Structure formats: C-alpha cells, structure tokens
Amino acid sequence: MSSKSIIFNFTRNELIEILTKKGFPPYLGGQIFSWVYTKHELNPDNFTNISKENRKKIGELFDFSPLKVIDSRKSVEEETEKFLLRVKNGYIETVLMKQNDYYTQCVSSQVGCKLGCKFCATGEIGFKGNLSADEIVSQVATVKKATNILPKNLVYMGMGEPLLNYENVLKSIEILSDREGYDFGIRRITISTIGILDNLKKLVNRYPNIGIAISLNAIPEKRTAIIPAERKYPIMDIINFYRENKRIARPTLEYTLMDGINSSKEDAKKLLKLLKNIRCKINLIPYNENPKLPYKTVSEETLNDFIKILFKGDNAVTVRRSKGKDILGGCGQLSGEMYD
C-alpha cells in the first residue's frame, strides 16, 4: 500500500502547513494547490514553476491519482453521463448533467446509505462506509480528467446522506470552494438532506448561503412510510427551524411524486398548509422508476393538479424532470452497481 498522502484530502492551508513543517518554502503549498485545481495538472513532473528537485520530492510525498473509473454510461440524448468509480469501501456513482450551456455534477458522499428510504436505489444496498474528503473532491477531478469538463454547479445528491458524513463533507466543501482552486462559489453548491437538524444548523451557520435541498417527499403523517428515518429526524423540526430562522437562505424542498403514495390533491392541500409562513422553493420531481422498486411515477394530469394547488401559496414551485433516467442516473436511482 502506498505511504503517500492523497493530495485531494488537503485544504490549501493544510498543504502549506505540512510542507512548511517539512522545510519547504511557504509558497510551495499554494503552487501545488493551483496546479491541481486551476491548471488541472495531476502529474507533478509537469509543475514547471517548481524546481526539479522539489517536483521529485512532491511526487514522493503525495499521490495525485484521481479515482479509478470502472465504467461510464451516457444517456440517449447525450446530456447526462454517469460514472462508476472505485473507492476504498466499494463503488460509488457521480453524474454529470448538461443544462443549457453549463454543467452540474452530482456527487456522492457515502458508499450506500443507512437511511433506507423506500423509493431510493441507494437505500436498497445498505451502508458500506463514509467517503473521505478526498474521495468527494476527487469525484470532480476524476470527471474533469475523463471529460475535460468542470461543472458550474455541484450538488451533493448522489449516494448517501451528506449530513451523516458531516466532517468529511465540510472539508470537501472547503477544498472545492477555495477561491484559489476550483472556486465553486458557495451558492453554487447544494447539499441535499433528509433533514439531520443538528448538522444542518452547523452547516448553515458556517455557510449561510450554501444551497440546501430538503428531501421532504411527504406530509409528516405519511413520511415514515417512505422515509423510515422520519422517526429519528422528524421533518417538523426542520420546518420549525426554517420558520424561526427567516434570515437563512431559503431552502429548496424536494418532493418526489409517486403515484398513489403522496400525490393526491389532499396531499397537495396539506403540503400547502404545512409550508405556510416558510420561505422556500418547492421542487416537484416526478418519480424516476427503478425496475427493482415497486413505485410508479405520476401522470401529467396528477402532476398538474398537484401544481395548481401549490400555486395558491406564496412559494415558487418548479418541476424537475430528472435527466439520465434511461441510464438510471436520475435522482434516487444510483446504486453503485456494475453497468451491463
């Protein structure tokens, strides 16, 4: 096993500190960070503004390899590509999506997930481990190397519950948003969570403008049936938190519409009532069917009826038609399984 440290695990300040302690000049850490994250150069032999001697030493200290791409698959319309990647604890997926003239990348935060939401392919496979910060950051570096595309937006909506891997997710945000690196503005990063209140509070305290997407998916009395973690992490705690803290950037409430489960007019009316006095955006997602799961998506008619009721409220309502459904790259469809 390599004794080298993985470069993607370090913030710029950490890199500077480590190298300074080893007797290198203080600017060297910043130079390396810049090569990796702004020039996208992952071979230290090519760090031409660094002396040959130091390049050799850097190559001995750090591993610059991105993650191993096991497979990749493009959607029919070629706007979405998902990648199956090898990590320490198994396999994960990351998805690159084209939207008009820019890209958004959906990254994973865990291998599998312990929360077992009934409609989610990731929940089906159980929990195999947290991703380290470098494994999160490296998903971007790996896709950049494979496609030469650096996305504009990042969403932590892949495999796993990001707020149950809080420290590593936080560190990855610090690295990915560094202005002297990839420079993802904090508003261009969205964390999707079923609502782990303690860590959500810490996160928005640290990054008040970070995008937050709450997987609401059902009115409280119906939520446990599809999100068993509702028992431990009640959605009402999240609703009350946002009701009481109006100065925090408004969250997006994600609501996946499943036929006969959470998509009746009655559900819409109760949802409208629940979200009264909360500043939020409501994002409706017609369910992405998965052959292994019994749930069905909704008809256009059901979707329209649902929207009409929500339009009576003050909050913006959008519909997200997931991209890459044909390659099982849509929301809730990632399972980290081999592609055939």
Per CB under 6 A, the segment of 88-96, 156-164, 179-187, 240-248 that binds ligand SF4 is 156-164
Per CB under 6 A, the segment of 61-69, 109-117, 135-143, 165-173 that binds ligand SF4 is 109-117
Q: Is residue 161 part of the contact set for ligand SF4 (CB under 6 A)?
A: yes
Q: Is residue 120 part of the contact set for ligand SF4 (CB under 6 A)?
A: yes
Least distance (Å) from ligand SF4 to the CB of residue 335?
Answer: 10
Asked if residue 263 lies in contact with residue 269, where contact means CB atoms within 8 angstroms, the answer is no
Least distance (Å) from ligand SF4 to the CB of residue 30?
Answer: 36
AA identity, residue 227: I
90-99 vs 189-193, strand pairing mode: unpaired
Query: Which tokens hold the place of 97?
Result: 């999506």
The residue (of 115 and 175) whose beta carbon lies closer to ligand SF4 is: 115
Asked if residue 125 lies in contact with residue 112, where contact means CB atoms within 8 angstroms, the answer is yes
The single residue among 30, 59, 116, 313 that binds ligand SF4, judged by CB under 6 A, is 116
Q: Is residue 81 part of the contact set for ligand SF4 (CB under 6 A)?
A: no
Binning the chain into helix, strand and coil, the percentages to the nearest 5 are: 40, 20, 40
The single residue among 154, 194, 216, 275 that binds ligand SF4, judged by CB under 6 A, is 194
Q: Is residue 196 part of the contact set for ligand SF4 (CB under 6 A)?
A: no
Q: Is residue 195 part of the contact set for ligand SF4 (CB under 6 A)?
A: no
Asked if residue 56 lies in contact with residue 82, where contact means CB atoms within 8 angstroms, the answer is no
Catalytic residues: 93, 331
**Contacts by 96-102, CB closer than 8 A, 24 or more apart:** 96/143, 96/147, 96/149, 96/151, 97/323, 97/324, 98/323, 102/151, 102/152, 102/153
- Give the footprint of ligand SF4 on this chain (CB under 6 A): 113, 115-117, 120, 122-123, 159-161, 194, 215, 332
